[in-house]
Structure formats: structure tokens, C-alpha cells
Structure 1
Amino acid sequence: MDVVVKPDDVSEAIEALAGNGYIHEGNLGIEGREAFKYEGKKYLQTHHLYVCPEDSAELKRHLAFRDYLRRHPQDKEKYGNVKLGAARKYPDDIEKYIEYKSPVIEEIYASMGITK
């Protein structure tokens, strides 16, 4: 899930999310997004959260991925299935969850002509 903010409002968004149980992790090596994690709050385990400035290249990449899936139902189904499989296999380990679904994401990016 992306929280989209004006470039000057990133710090304010980070502070607001910290007040709601999110732990800021920095950009984790990817410019144009700020990642968050959570600990001990099962209700937050339904999503992976980023704050993105509205002008960031990373946000544009996220939106391109979303739009691609909307136009390609077979890839959308494949991605949905791998996410469900990852959630079943790793319900309490976000890192393993991400690792499990990463090959499908990379495959979709390649279909889009995007390399990381």
C-alpha cells in the first residue's frame, strides 16, 4: 500500500505513521519510497506500507505495475495466487513472504520492460 504525499510532507507522514504503530525502516535502498514495518500488531499484517512522494519514480513504477495487472488478467491471477500462497506459507514472516513472491514480480516487470 502506498501513501502518496507532497514531497515536502514525507517527514510529517513518517511521524504520523509512527504514532499509529508503524516503524520507519528508511528507503531500504530504493529511492523514492519510505518503507515501514510493524511488530506485535497482527492487525497491521494485512499490508506492506510505503510513503511515496507524488513525484517519485518508484511511485510511478508501482502504478505502472498496478495498471499492467489491470490489463493482463492472467498475470493478475498468477500474482494473486502467489501472494495467497506466500501468505499461507509465511503468515508471520514478511521477509520470507516477499522473497516467495519476488520471482513472479520480477517476471511481470520483465514483461513490462522494466528491470530493477
Structure 2
Amino acid sequence: MSEEAAMPELISRLAGQGYQHEGDLGIQGREAFQAPPAAFEHHLYGVVADTKPHLDHVLLRDYLRQQPAEVQRYSASKMALTQRFTADSDGRAAYSTAKSALMEELLARSYAA
């Protein structure tokens, strides 16, 4: 079974664990999931190996591991944005939009590194 063909099974299995599938949220090749209501607040993403979303995640992770000042800047930005926006779907969408310029900058730097 190809990894792309496995995505429907991943969605089904996570739903069985209480995760809510949110679709790709505009990033083809990445599926978003909201945590079960009783779990610690988090989001989970499933990606297909060797796709751009997968590479984005891996390169950004590796870049941030080597750049503590960027981690601090990213963290401070996220904390400030969580104070500005509500946790509902409109607030999460606004949060993502507000975070996008920094994410694009960090991704560009991670690809260049």
C-alpha cells in the first residue's frame, strides 16, 4: 500500500482514538487533526513521506534545532498570537494567517541552510 493510499486508514484510526479530522487546511499532502476533547490541547498532522509538506516539516525541525535564537523568536510570536486570537475555528484561522509570514521566512531559511 502506498503512503498516499494509507492516509484514509490513518484518518479512520485516529478518528477511532477521538481525533477530529480537519482536512488539509489548504496544504495538499498534509492532513490536520484536532486532539480528542479529554486530551492535552495539541494538533496532529499526518503527511505523506517525500512530499513537500513532509520536507517542509523535516527541514524546519532540523533548522530550528540548530538555531536557538530562531526558536525563541518563533515561540514568542506563537505565544503573542495565542493571546490575540480565540481557540475557535475563526480564531485558529486568524492565528494561522498571522503566523504565515514568519513561517514562510523560517521555511525559506531552512531550505537555504
Class of the TM-score when normalised by the shorter of the 2 chains: 0.7 to 0.9
**Which consecutive unaligned segments of at least 5 residues does structure 2 have?**
none
Write out the 4+ residue segments of structure 1 that deviate beyond 4 Å after TM superposition.
Answer: none
The residue number in structure 2 matching 1:90 is 85
Between 13-22 and 76-85, report the one with greater CA deviation: 13-22
1:61 and 1:54 map into 2 onto residues whose CA distance is 11
CA contact (8 A) 1:7 1:55 kept: no
1:21 and 1:42 map into 2 onto residues whose CA distance is 9
The residue number in structure 2 matching 1:108 is 106
Q: Which has the higher contact order (CA 8 A, sep 6+)?
A: 1
Cα distance, 1:95–1:29 mapped onto 2, change above 3 Å:
closer
Q: How many residues get paired?
A: 108
User: What's the CA shift for 1:100?
Assistant: 2.3
**Which consecutive unaligned segments of at least 5 residues does structure 1 have?**
none
The residue number in structure 2 matching 1:31 is 28
1:102 and 1:42 map into 2 onto residues whose CA distance is 29
Structure ranking higher in helix proportion: 2
Identity %, equivalent residues:
35
Cα root mean square deviation, aligned: 2.6
Measured against aligned partners, the alpha-carbon deviations of 1:49-100 in whole angstroms (never above 9, x if no partner) come to: 2211233231111110111111111111100111111222224121122122
2:69 and 2:109 map into 1 onto residues whose CA distance is 12
User: What's the CA shift for 1:38?
Assistant: 6.5
User: What's the CA shift for 1:103?
Assistant: 1.7
Work out which of the residue numbers 40, 61, 71 in structure 1 matches 2:56.
61
